Copies of this chain bind each other. A is one copy, B any other.
């Protein structure tokens, strides 16, 4: 507890107790350390409803245990099978998700800063093998952390399962046996009951300790590389929004291959979810190749364009918003806002009314009806400032080399008749401020 600073004085710790050996030992140990560590305990038990009356008896067992210890207790019941049916997870994975959600909810209800689970060194070894067999990089092979998200703590992670059992025998404590731990339909049970015994008997009698050590080293290695990745991302991100991250491509390509791979995984993870091996490699090839665009399974599109490597989640949602002549509106879809004002034309030079990427000027009296701002639509046209004919907005974007995956987020400002500003690109020739202009409309685009 102390070495990993698992709990601070005065904190409340929620103890997840299934009724099995590990969690009963955990509860007993924590209840004995309660005063010394100045922590308060609360017990949570989830009935997954997977084993009928057995599950119910587990719940009653834990309740009785808490009542003996005078420990506050919250029981819950979830229909894991229904959840799994709906979400398409495996029963193992589904039970895990439901359990952690329950624990977080109870922790919030009772005001617990930490959630303690009874995972042991044997669980750790099983986790490492589980992830190796499923195909995992450094992160996965590091196994479980003694402390995760500062909240989940695993005080028994360095303790062997036989030590837990010895402890329970010594303390004459009863516990429940979960018969689903023997069901070979669960990968973890096959690892525990078939693989680990083979490894121990035929290869390495200390296999659990060996795997736990390897995991500890790999966790440190992963942490180091992740810190370097975070620093690199801060250095080379030109834009970092909720649905869009843009990297400086030459800087990206200067990083080591391993860090590039981690950058890709981290960026996709920030936008939606980290890609698997094949998808990461595809993005790696795109970045170091000749350009182009690809769609990842998570809905992220990646494009290499000029000096930029763009990651964008989904299409920009459609929007169409009325814009007041004086005031401001938010464009949450673009993480931007528009600010408008009208004022008399001063005697300044015509050139001072020149629009740029974030600011445009119009002759107020050339505008027809109310203003709206909306996404670009197919067929949009404009007569750009300084030109004679009309031009398709699409062609305008291509001329300006706007990357394909960003084109759907270019907004246009319209009056009742026409597009007056392809924002950031071009204003309409007919609305320009001239020597005859009396009132000027100024529109500013700012980040939200």
Which one of B194, B213, B225 lies within 8 Å of A135 (CB-CB)?
B213
Q: Which of A133-159 contact B (CB under 8 A)?
A: 133-138, 141
Closest CB of chain B to A268's CB: distance in Å?
Answer: 16
Q: Which residue of chain B has the shortest Cβ distance to A259 in the bound complex? A: B224
A177: CB under 8 A from chain B?
A: no
A97: CB under 8 A from chain B?
A: no
| B residues less than 8 Å from A228 (CB atoms) | 228
Contact A225 B221 (CB under 8 A): yes
Contact B137 A214 (CB under 8 A): yes
Q: In the complex the two chains form, what is the Cα distance from A134 to B141 in whole Å? A: 15
| B residues less than 8 Å from A261 (CB atoms) | 217, 220
Contact A218 B133 (CB under 8 A): no
A258: CB under 8 A from chain B?
A: yes
- A contact residues, range: 35 or more
| B residues less than 8 Å from A213 (CB atoms) | 135, 277
Contact A133 B217 (CB under 8 A): no
Contact A210 B137 (CB under 8 A): no
Contact B138 A204 (CB under 8 A): no
| B residues less than 8 Å from A211 (CB atoms) | 132
Which one of B134, B207, B223 lies within 8 Å of A133 (CB-CB)?
B207
**Given A138-B217, A217-B277, A277-B217, CB of A256 within 8 Å of CB of B133:** no
Q: In the complex the two chains form, what is the Cα distance from A211 to B277 in whole Å? A: 12
Q: How many copies of the polypeptide does the oligomer hold? A: 2
Q: Which of A242-256 contact B (CB under 8 A)?
A: 256
**Given A133-B199, A137-B214, A217-B277, CB of A256 within 8 Å of CB of B194:** no
Q: In the complex the two chains form, what is the Cα distance from A257 to B213 in whole Å? A: 15
Q: In the complex the two chains form, what is the Cα distance from A211 to B258 in whole Å? A: 17
Q: Which residue of chain B has the shortest Cβ distance to A255 in the bound complex? A: B224
| B residues less than 8 Å from A416 (CB atoms) | none
| B residues less than 8 Å from A204 (CB atoms) | 133-135
A227: CB under 8 A from chain B?
A: yes
Contact B221 A137 (CB under 8 A): yes
Q: Which residue of chain B has the shortest Cβ distance to A204 in the bound complex? A: B133
Contact A218 B135 (CB under 8 A): no
A3: CB under 8 A from chain B?
A: no
A321: CB under 8 A from chain B?
A: no
Q: Which of A163-220 contact B (CB under 8 A)?
A: 187, 190-191, 194-195, 198-199, 202-204, 207, 210-211, 213-214, 217-218, 220
| B residues less than 8 Å from A137 (CB atoms) | 214, 217-218, 221
Closest CB of chain B to A265's CB: distance in Å?
Answer: 11
**Given A203-B187, A213-B277, A277-B213, CB of A258 within 8 Å of CB of B198:** no
Contact B203 A198 (CB under 8 A): no
The 8 A CB mask of A371-415 against B (1 = contact, 0 = none) is: 000000000000000000000000000000000000000000000
Closest CB of chain B to A75's CB: distance in Å?
Answer: 35
Contact B199 A138 (CB under 8 A): no
Which one of B199, B210, B221, B259 lies within 8 Å of A258 (CB-CB)?
B221
Closest CB of chain B to A361's CB: distance in Å?
Answer: 51
**Given A137-B217, A207-B133, A261-B217, CB of A202 within 8 Å of CB of B194:** yes
Contact A136 B203 (CB under 8 A): no
Contact B198 A227 (CB under 8 A): no
| B residues less than 8 Å from A221 (CB atoms) | 137-138, 221, 225, 258
| B residues less than 8 Å from A202 (CB atoms) | 190, 194-195
19 contacts between A and B (CB under 8 A): A133-B199, A133-B207, A133-B210, A135-B210, A135-B213, A138-B218, A138-B221, A141-B141, A141-B214, A190-B202, A191-B203, A194-B198, A195-B199, A195-B202, A220-B256, A220-B257, A220-B261, A221-B221, A223-B258
A residues near B, CB below 8 A?
132-138, 141, 187, 190-191, 194-195, 198-199, 202-204, 207, 210-211, 213-214, 217-218, 220-221, 223-225, 227-228, 256-259, 261, 277
Known contacts A134-B210, A141-B214; 8 additional CB pairs below 8 A are A132-B210, A133-B199, A133-B207, A135-B204, A137-B218, A137-B221, A138-B221, A224-B256
